[in-house]
Amino acid sequence: MSQPAPMTDTYPSYRRLKLARDGAVATVTLSNPEHRNAVDGVMHEEIVDAFRRLHSDGSVRVVVVTGDPEGRTFSAGGYHPWVADKAGTGEGFEEILRVGIDLVRSIISIRQPIIGMINGPAVGLGATIALLSDISYIDEATFISDPHVGVGVVAGDGGAALWPLLIGPNRAKEFLMTGDRIQGSRAAEMGLVNHAIPADELEASVNAMAERLSTGPRLAIEFTKASVNLLVRQTIESVLTASIALEGLTFHTRDHREAVRAFAAKETPRYDA
């Protein structure tokens, strides 16, 4: 494939995303390098806007999602200062709830197949965005994790819905309740992602699949995705709102306050019953 060109003609100039295009393949790059490509309020809104526009763009047949290499991650997850500020009030958490649900729905609803190119750690919400891809490729040496419990809160922004679909309820609960990291090669072995690839082959592998899908029978591919996603969307819709609401509840618990205190003090948190 040739070098992608910026999509500046019919798309806004985003602050936290980079959009590029090579023929019928659009690439969405999560870009907040100063904070390891973390998802703040701006990126939340821009992801929703970009995916809704891509859904309506008939010239785009495949979407690749990746992280800005300058951020050294796919995405470090939610930007904690933004989340902590919003979670302090009911009105603020309503915004987290709204934009979180909108983000997941905008990605899961897009008609074009999405290929995730996980080129660095995908953590928390970053892992959710990566796993919302229809086909995912990961650098075999990096890792994926959902460590919400590490700060005393529920894995509510998609993990509770997606992980059981991909690897089964019990295995999902193990990793969501511990927050343990899963190396790329193991993530592929257990079916959490599709393929684990050496870092120097990752982009070429993603490009080859993008080329294959973009030159295949468009409606057959899109309608097959839509058919499978009937199950995926039903599961996510049944879990997402409740799990994010429960996450909001745990922001006001003693355990979360202890986790924040210990992090600031560079200590191990003490969770006393």
Poorest-pLDDT segment among 77-81, 129-133, 146-150? 77-81
- Domains of the chain in start order, with CATH, are 5-265 (3.90.226.10)
Cα torsion 96, 99, 104, 108 to 10°: value is: 170
Poorest-pLDDT segment among 62-71, 162-171, 179-188, 235-244? 235-244
| Helix axes 218-250 and 159-167, enclosed angle (nearest 10) | 130
Q: How confident is the model at residue 87 (pLDDT cuts 50, 70, 90)?
A: confident
Q: How far is CA 133 from CA 162, 178, 225, 228, in A?
A: 11, 24, 11, 13
Among 82, 69, 9, 73, smallest CA distance to 43 is for 82
What's residue 8's pLDDT?
Answer: 66
Q: Distance between CA atoms of 40 and 161, rounded to whole angstroms?
A: 22
Interval 219-230 mean pLDDT = 97
Residue 160: pLDDT above 80? yes
Q: Distance between CA atoms of 198 and 92, rounded to whole angstroms?
A: 41
What's residue 97's pLDDT?
Answer: 81
Residue 84: pLDDT above 80? no
Q: How confident is the model at residue 273 (pLDDT cuts 50, 70, 90)?
A: low
Among 14, 103, 116, 22, smallest CA distance to 61 is for 22
Residue 177: pLDDT above 90? yes
- DSSP at 78: B
Average pLDDT, the chain: 93
Dihedral class, residue 164 (left if φ above 0, else alpha if ψ from -120 to 50, else beta): alpha
